[in-house]
């Protein structure tokens, strides 16, 4: 079996990548591994069967399938696959798997930290420190807070679990097709979005980028944010109207927005949201712990064993509508 690894241009490595040739010993299979940088794709072995894409936002699937027509499975180190021709790959019989689940805990910890940045007054203390002043304030106990999580997939469920452990009193989820989920007190449909934003102190967006989710958190929804609340986006920037958010955060000095993703990304220097002291922007890194590369590799190696033995692959994408 020939496996190609499309590496990250930044050179970030994983000690477990060296385990790939020996990972199929139990199945008596020989594995040949070719490692390439994205700009070296033209050198891929034409008989390659499996491709492990470590390069973020790699989007040359069409060219890959032309150069290596025998590819039957591609694994990407991404959760969202909106940048890939998923429907075409599925029609061509190419299996596509993702790293869904690997970053969930780290992202949920980032979200909790963002909530505490607001509820414990840390951001306001940073602002006051820069102004060389101290202003006494009463803080909010975790048990006083309720949360709405927009998008209750694996990341949203992990956020709910972490906030539950931190003591938040009630956690509601939004899901396209509502169904009971253990981590949530209630799961509602998108038609309840506006109402629920206004009923919760914490609003977390965990939505993927699809045609259905583009702009779903627009001005009418953002205007429902409470005067004292926190809005966190760890999904995709295209789901939020950032011009409206800039205006609404100006009108709500007691609120905080933490954006790990934006639209566009990065934001232009003249975007009005940069002027808001109560907005924090991080560079799309909420799940990027140093250990993630090893976790990604271990997931791929486990799927490689499954692939070789004809078992069902973990995190297989069935159609683009799932994302």
Taking only the tens place, the pLDDT of each residue in 175-209 is: 999 999 999 999 999 999 999 999 999 999 999 99
Cα–Cα distances (Å) from 238 to 174, 246, 286, in that order, read 17, 15, 17
No. of H helices and E strands in the chain?
9, 12
Quick one: pLDDT at residue 23?
65
Residue 320 has pLDDT above 70, yes or no: no
Confidence class for position 26, pLDDT limits 50, 70, 90: low
Q: What is the pTM of this model?
A: 0.91
Quick one: pLDDT at residue 319?
64
Beginning with the edge strand found earlier in the chain, give each strand of the sheet holding 230-233 in spatial order.
186-188, 170-174, 146-150, 202-205, 230-233, 256-259, 279-281
Give the separation between CA 110 and CA 59, rounded to whole angstroms. 27
Helices 122-130 and 104-119: crossing angle in degrees, nearest 10, is 60
Residue 61 has pLDDT above 60, yes or no: yes
Q: Domains in the chain, please, with CATH?
A: 2-102+290-322 (3.40.50.720), 104-281 (3.40.50.720)
C-beta of residue 217 within 8 angstroms of C-beta of residue 189: no
Give 71-99 pLDDT, tens digit per residue: 999 999 998 888 899 988 988 899 999 99
Quick one: pLDDT at residue 80?
84
What average pLDDT is seen over the chain?
93
Give the closest residue to 104 by CA, choosing from 160, 149, 56: 160
C-beta of residue 98 within 8 angstroms of C-beta of residue 317: yes
Averaged over 31-38, what is the pLDDT? 93
Going 134 to 258 to 202 to 109, the CA torsion angle's sign is: negative
Quick one: pLDDT at residue 318?
81
């Amino acid at each position: 079996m020939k496996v190609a690894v499309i590496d990250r241009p930044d050179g970030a490595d994983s000690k477990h990548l060296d385990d790939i040739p020996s990972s199929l010993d139990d199945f008596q299979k020989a594995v040949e591994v070719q490692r390439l940088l994205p700009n070296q794709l033209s050198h891929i072995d034409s008989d390659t069967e499996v491709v492990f894409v470590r390069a973020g936002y790699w989007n040359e699937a069409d060219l890959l399938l032309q150069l290596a027509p025998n590819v039957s499975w591609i694994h990407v180190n991404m959760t969202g696959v909106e940048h890939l021709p998923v429907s075409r790959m599925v029609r061509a019989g190419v299996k596509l798997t993702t790293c869904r689940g690997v970053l969930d805990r780290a992202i949920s910890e980032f979200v909790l930290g963002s909530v505490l940045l607001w509820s414990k007054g840390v951001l306001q203390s940073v602002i006051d420190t820069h102004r060389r002043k101290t202003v006494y304030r009463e803080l909010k106990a975790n048990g006083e807070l309720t949360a709405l999580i927009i998008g209750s997939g694996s990341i949203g469920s992990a956020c709910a679990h972490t906030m539950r452990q931190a003591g938040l009193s009630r956690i509601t989820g939004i899901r396209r097709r509502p169904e009971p989920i253990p981590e949530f007190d209630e799961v509602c449909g998108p038609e309840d979005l506006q109402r629920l934003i206004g009923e919760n102190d914490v609003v977390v967006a965990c939505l993927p980028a699809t045609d259905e989710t583009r702009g779903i958190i627009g001005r009418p929804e953002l205007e429902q944010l409470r005067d004292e609340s926190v809005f966190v986006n760890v999904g995709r920037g295209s789901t939020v109207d950032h011009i409206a958010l800039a205006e609404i955060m100006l009108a709500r000095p007691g609120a905080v927005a933490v954006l790990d993703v934006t639209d566009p990304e990065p934001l232009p220097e003249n975007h009005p949201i940069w002027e808001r002291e109560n907005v924090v922007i991080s560079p799309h890194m909420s799940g990027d712990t140093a250990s993630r590369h090893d976790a990604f590799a271990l997931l791929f190696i486990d799927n490689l064993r499954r692939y070789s033995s004809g078992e069902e692959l973990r995190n297989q994408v069935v159609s683009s509508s799932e994302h």
